[in-house]
Chains A and B, each alone.
Chain A
Amino acid sequence: MSISGKIPNHIEELLVTNRRGFLRSAGLLAVSFGTFGAAGPKEAEAQSSAAAQGPGPYPNPDFHQIDSWIVIHPDNTATFYVGKTDPGQGTGTGFRQLMSDELDIAFEQTTCIMGSTDITVDQVGSGGSTAMERDSWPMRRVAAEARRVLLEMGSSRLGAPVDQLAVSNAVITVKADPAKRVTYGELIGGKKFNVTLNGNNVNAVTGQAKTKLVPELKYTGQPLHRDDIPGKVDGSLKWAVDVKLPGMVHARNVKPPFACAKLTGIDESSVKGLPGFIKVVSKGNYVAVVCEREEQAIRAARQLKTTWEKPPVAPFPSSEDLFQYMRTASPVAPDRPAGTGDAEARNPAAGSGGPASPNAAGASAAKTIEAEYEIPFQGHTAFAGAHATADPSNGQMTVYSNDMKSYGMRRGVATFLGMPQDRVRVVWMQGPQGFGRTAAEDAGCEAAYIAREIGRPVRMQWMRDEETAWDTKSPAFLVKMRGALDAQGHLIAYEYNARSCDYNHLGYNEPDTVLIAQLMGSRRTRPAGGSASTPSDVYEIPNRKMTGEVVGLPVVWETPLRTGNLRDPNGPQATFAAESFIDEAAAAAKTDPLEFRMKLLQAGTTDDAGFRRARSLAVLKAAAEKYGWDPRPSPKPPGNGDILTGRGMAYSFRGQTVVAQIAEVEVNRKTGHVWAKRIVCAHDCGLVVNPESLQRAVECGTLHGLSRAIHEEVRFDTEKVTSRDWASHPTLRHADVPERIDVVLVNGDPNPNRPDLPPYGAGEASLKPMLAAIANAIYDATGVRIRRVPFRDDRVLAALKAAGV
């Protein structure tokens, strides 16, 4: 039994040969099944009993060992093992740049293995834009420590003190006599470091060595090409969808036809005669069909006759009635349990800024403004449906998956199946996007469940309609805002209240909330509370009150309107409202919207350790300069012709990453069509690890924001989601793309004397202000304020007509 040639080389390497053997010899792995899939039942049994005396077949790699992070090979190359995944923004290449710098090895001599739970330490996987900001630090410190240890070894070998040695490209030389040299590979190639690191958790792990200061970094900051791209353009990369295992069969789900449906019957005779049919797997309301071939499983799933009973009450209002429902619904009790997502990605709503409100502005208010903003449910709609392949060989469970949080999936699958965690591993492989959907991935538990049921490797994939209708959704927001201006046009009071339809927000492959568990009857007595985020800005406004509350739909289990984290969770919703409102305030004050924002920023007198206020000012200024911003109040004087043009800006931050965007739009008065002709995105995420990867990630994040601004909305009637494909849940297309996009990497350090500028996250922030920038540009062009996302042609046209434009 061999999987040679079926999965990518690097995965094959780590699964089959050196790595596990290496770990075992290093004493890091008590029991190994050696060659993946090769152990027969007897051997498995023997090793299972051996496992009972030890930590098990797939124990967690020990993050306290250098050997868990770095392996130096005899040919003087190195492999880095990190507990992250790269959903397509080049972080894997970035880790290599940073670690190569700290280890002092040529970038070209390194590779990086990511996110496979049995051979890389648990760094959670990806999410929350944490790759560079948080998780690159332990990698750097371990690499620096490995370099220190190697220099000590070199010192013994060459008979010279460490301070008289030089190291470059993994070669140590005696400074005074460069002919005396030894390579890393000669010192330790194929052998273990056996060096124990300090630190209470993986984020704190450290050795004795200090990391380098920014000026000493050689690869970091260079536009090195991503190592995953060649295989993606010549077809050679093996993705999670490409896994093929001996004896593998194909499964497809049969989804309930409406939310909260109760399965009342399965007529297996409707598919029994079909070619390749193996089995209907069902428990509770979960139904799947298994066949030998993929197209057979697709056909059988479509053909299987099932009967379902409708729930006694409508599970939800229709999408047309959603906001009226949210307005009148009772918020979830404030003592609700906290959400169970990762803390850094969630911004729990909380009152802030004291009790003041526009009323507090009292007699000094010359003008008050009020507005209400609506952002619908928006889908992840990943480019391919959820998928995973599960192998139940040897009483273990291996899941091949693109789950961005592979460690979470491992815990979820193990608990869901009632297996010890060390009998389960998740091998991370590339897949379409990430954006939070693959953290709340569904196919892994499904494939594993079915694989165990039938005792063969199973490949599960969701079809397009399943994925679009049943994936996790970004929560709908209803935001009420009020403000007051004084006679000089200063914003002297500000009130923000967000209502988020987010009750029972899903975490990451939780064994009791993953969809298959729900369909099988699992319920939490207290669902996750969800969150209603407040805006991210550092405007100084005297009387400011920000609150958020969560409402729930009538039914929150077994529903396709499941909420989960979508790229910068809740950030685009909160920022759409807040930055539209700032623009409305600027217009009411008859002030240029850039000047209005700069004044609110300049009114602040303090800054934080990351200089967020100073950097906010610099980023807004950089965006305006690049765009060639012409100061004037919005809206511009009404144009004639059918095409009205205007420009709008918005600003926000995520963590310490600051973004300002300016969009120039054309609005077609006859059709309501909005085209963003030009976009400038100024972005500051601290230290730049790879400017080219960063530029691309920022550019694409910006366009993701544009897609959410003009296209994306989940539609539903009172029992099912009716957005089921790319026609009914449209996305941005080639023709929508601006003719010019300028990404300005500001990334200046306001403290020029600081040699250690840290990197901040860049995977999400550029999404955040885009919705508001487009809304503000539409207002500038037409004088019509659109407070409802997305700005589809029909909605814009109706608004223009209503305003007589």
Chain B
Amino acid sequence: MSKITLKVNGGSHTVDVEPATPLLYVLRNDLGLQGPKFGCGLGQCGACTVIINGAAVRSCVMPTSSVKGEVTTLEGLASNGKLHPLQQAWIDEQVPQCGFCQNGQILTAKVMLDKIPHPTDAQIRETMNGTLCRCMSYYRVQTAVKRAAKTLADASSASPKEVVA
């Protein structure tokens, strides 16, 4: 066991774990952050996705000791009590069925929109293709991504200086 300090959702936490422990278990079981889910433990499905340094990371295969940079989980996406436009779009579009995969869908879409504010349909399909859903909510996820992209674009054109997290 060794002490590792993690920055997560704006806070700092020190945990005492085996260095190779996948970040997912530390987030879920030590920090009580249960947005990221265990789906496969193989980095194949995306349920465990978190954001580190602007990248969508599969926390089930990321050793805790290798984490460099601040971790953002689904719980850290809202700001000042206001849902991120992606989360709001997910509600407006009533995206989830069971919802177990939606952590990965939302965070993968967040990273995409940060880099590509106006993705084409092909870009959405390609970027999201590794994020699986067994209820098959894909069509609605894609619709919600486009809705959120529009909300973000409208917000930035309405008040150029406002930063939408």
Partner-B contacts on A (CB < 8 A):
87-90, 225-226, 228-230, 232-239, 241-242, 244, 275, 293-295, 298, 381-384, 430-434, 461, 463-464, 692-693, 696-697, 699-704, 706-707, 725-727, 731-739, 741
Contact B94 A463 (CB under 8 A): no
A730–B138 alpha-carbon span in the complex (Å): 15
B86 to chain A: closest residue by CB: A233
A89 to chain B: closest residue by CB: B97
Of residues 140 through 163 on chain B, the ones whose CB sits less than 8 Å from some CB of chain A are 140-142
By a CB distance below 8 angstroms, the chain B residues around A734 are: 124-125, 128-129, 131, 138, 141-142
Least CB distance from B44 to A in Å reads 4
By a CB distance below 8 angstroms, the chain B residues around A433 are: 97-98, 100, 134-135
Contact B94 A696 (CB under 8 A): yes
By a CB distance below 8 angstroms, the chain B residues around A234 are: 74-75, 77-78, 83, 87
Contact B25 A294 (CB under 8 A): yes
Partner of A293, one of B25, B77, B102: B25
A704–B133 alpha-carbon span in the complex (Å): 10
A362–B67 alpha-carbon span in the complex (Å): 76
By a CB distance below 8 angstroms, the chain B residues around A88 are: 96-99, 135
Q: A225-B91, A733-B129, A733-B132 are in contact. Are A87 and B98 (CB under 8 A)?
A: yes
By a CB distance below 8 angstroms, the chain A residues around B126 are: 735
Is B65 positioned at the interface, with any CB of A under 8 Å from its CB? no
A434 to chain B: closest residue by CB: B98
Contact A432 B98 (CB under 8 A): yes
By a CB distance below 8 angstroms, the chain B residues around A735 are: 125-126, 129
By a CB distance below 8 angstroms, the chain A residues around B87 are: 233-234
Contact A275 B1 (CB under 8 A): yes
By a CB distance below 8 angstroms, the chain B residues around A275 are: 1, 18
Least CB distance from B90 to A in Å reads 4
By a CB distance below 8 angstroms, the chain B residues around A241 are: 34, 37-38
User: Which 7 A-B pairs rank lowest in CB-CB distance, beginning with the nearest?
Assistant: A88-B98, A235-B35, A232-B99, A703-B136, A432-B100, A235-B74, A88-B97
Contact B97 A239 (CB under 8 A): no
Of residues 74 through 128 on chain B, the ones whose CB sits less than 8 Å from some CB of chain A are 74-75, 77-78, 83, 87, 90-91, 94-103, 106, 121, 124-126, 128
Partner of A232, one of B78, B96, B129: B96
Contact B94 A383 (CB under 8 A): no
By a CB distance below 8 angstroms, the chain B residues around A230 are: 91
Contact B135 A700 (CB under 8 A): yes
Contact A700 B136 (CB under 8 A): yes
Please count how many residues in chain B sit with their CB below 8 Å of the partner chain's CB atoms: 59
Partner-A contacts on B (CB < 8 A):
1, 17-18, 21-22, 25, 28-29, 33-35, 37-42, 44-45, 47, 73-75, 77-78, 83, 87, 90-91, 94-103, 106, 121, 124-126, 128-142
Contact A731 B41 (CB under 8 A): no
A458–B75 alpha-carbon span in the complex (Å): 26
Q: A88-B96, A383-B98 are in contact. Are A699 and B132 (CB under 8 A)?
A: no
By a CB distance below 8 angstroms, the chain A residues around B96 are: 88, 229, 232-233
A235–B74 alpha-carbon span in the complex (Å): 6
Contact B139 A737 (CB under 8 A): yes
The prevalent SS among residues of A at the interface is: loop
Least CB distance from B20 to A in Å reads 8
Least CB distance from A165 to B in Å reads 37
Least CB distance from A577 to B in Å reads 23
By a CB distance below 8 angstroms, the chain A residues around B40 are: 464, 725-726
B45 to chain A: closest residue by CB: A726
Contact A239 B39 (CB under 8 A): no
Listed residue (A237, A726, A739) with the most chain B CB atoms within 10 angstroms of its CB: A726
Contact A229 B33 (CB under 8 A): no
Contact A383 B142 (CB under 8 A): no
Q: A234-B74, A734-B129 are in contact. Are A383 and B47 (CB under 8 A)?
A: yes
By a CB distance below 8 angstroms, the chain A residues around B35 are: 235
Q: A382-B134, A703-B139, A731-B132 are in contact. Are A464 and B97 (CB under 8 A)?
A: no
A700 to chain B: closest residue by CB: B136
By a CB distance below 8 angstroms, the chain B residues around A731 are: 132, 134
By a CB distance below 8 angstroms, the chain A residues around B134 are: 381-383, 432-433, 731
A242–B25 alpha-carbon span in the complex (Å): 11
A745–B164 alpha-carbon span in the complex (Å): 37
A706–B136 alpha-carbon span in the complex (Å): 10
Contact A696 B124 (CB under 8 A): no
21 cross-chain CB contacts under 8 A: A88-B96, A229-B95, A233-B74, A234-B83, A275-B18, A293-B25, A295-B18, A298-B41, A383-B45, A383-B100, A383-B133, A384-B39, A464-B39, A696-B97, A697-B97, A700-B137, A700-B140, A706-B136, A725-B44, A734-B128, A736-B138
Least CB distance from A247 to B in Å reads 14
A499–B133 alpha-carbon span in the complex (Å): 31
A234–B102 alpha-carbon span in the complex (Å): 10
Q: A384-B39, A431-B98 are in contact. Are A235 and B129 (CB under 8 A)?
A: no
A90–B96 alpha-carbon span in the complex (Å): 10
By a CB distance below 8 angstroms, the chain B residues around A293 are: 17, 25, 29
Least CB distance from B65 to A in Å reads 13
By a CB distance below 8 angstroms, the chain B residues around A233 are: 74, 83, 87, 90-91, 95-96, 99, 102, 106
Partner of A383, one of B28, B90, B132: B132
A298–B87 alpha-carbon span in the complex (Å): 33
A570–B61 alpha-carbon span in the complex (Å): 37
By a CB distance below 8 angstroms, the chain B residues around A700 are: 97, 135-137, 140
A776–B133 alpha-carbon span in the complex (Å): 26
A704 to chain B: closest residue by CB: B136
Partner of A693, one of B94, B98, B106, B142: B94
Partner of A699, one of B74, B128, B139: B139
By a CB distance below 8 angstroms, the chain B residues around A725 are: 40, 42, 44
Least CB distance from B149 to A in Å reads 15
Least CB distance from A783 to B in Å reads 29
Partner of A692, one of B75, B94, B141: B94
A737 to chain B: closest residue by CB: B138
